[in-house]
Amino acid sequence: MNREIVLDTETTGLSPATGDRLVEIGCVELINHIPSGRHYHVYINPERSMPEEAFRVHGLSEEFLADKPRFGEVVEDFQAFIGEATLVIHNAAFDIGFLNAELQRAGHKTLANPVIDTVMLARERHPGARVSLDALCKHYGIDNSRRTLHGALLDSEILAEVYLELIGGKQVSLALVAENRVSGADAIAARAVAAKRPQPLPPRISTAELAAHAQLVAKLGPDSIWAQYEAAEMSVEQRIAL
């Protein structure tokens, strides 16, 4: 199982080295590149004032955050949610820097998780193009109309969609289907060993329909899917009979 956590944060400013703090964390879980429906979201009391420039970005005021938990009170829940999963982050150095500063302040080890930076992915995929989250949403036709202000959970949800496009979009889903597809012979064998009905169902296909089908399969040739399926079915039934 491939578990990834798409993560975003909001802060009081640009640098933890100058005293800026986290105020929000949002995470979305992906299992084998598919959203699982699980997420983690928390507002955090930064224990300091909120600069006007930061407030204009995310709209989180000192008053709103005053009764929210401090990072040290949520750190264990946060660590339990992310576990050892790969973290998918847009401009990862920024968020990782803040998270590690908060972890150290709370007396915890810094993050050791693998990290995928979607800014780097986007630059590799689209050299010379703008790689902001809004620009990538526009490029891939992803609706971000709800993003009037930055919000960690909403941005994580949007980033998850962008990330899946960056790594292949719909082709990823098709690949997963192919990986999990059961072969014809395996399906027949599974059907053969399943519990039988006490009273078999009456046949729903007439003798004429069976004959017409046999003629069609003969015309398609021995390499057709139908011919291979019938050969596999006959082989399985012979093994069962033995």
Tell me which residues are annotated as active site. 150
CA–CA gap between residue 215 and residue 185 (Å, rounded): 22
Strand 3-11: give its sheet, edge to edge. Answer: 34-43, 22-31, 3-11, 86-89, 115-117
Task: Name the token pair of 20.
Answer: 């800026």
Q: Is residue 193 a contact partner of residue 148, using CB atoms and an 8 Å limit?
A: no
Chain-centre distance of CA 87, in angstroms? 11
Task: Name the token pair of 48.
Answer: 């300091």
Q: What is the DSSP letter of 11?
A: E
Of the candidates 39, 19, 12, 14, the one whose C-alpha atom is nearest the C-alpha of residue 155 is 39
CA–CA gap between residue 87 and residue 114 (Å, rounded): 6
Task: Name the token pair of 11.
Answer: 């802060």
Helix/strand/coil for 117:
strand
* Residue 168 identity: G
- As a whole number of Å, the CA-based R_g of the chain is 27
Relative to beta strand 86-89, strand 34-43 is unpaired
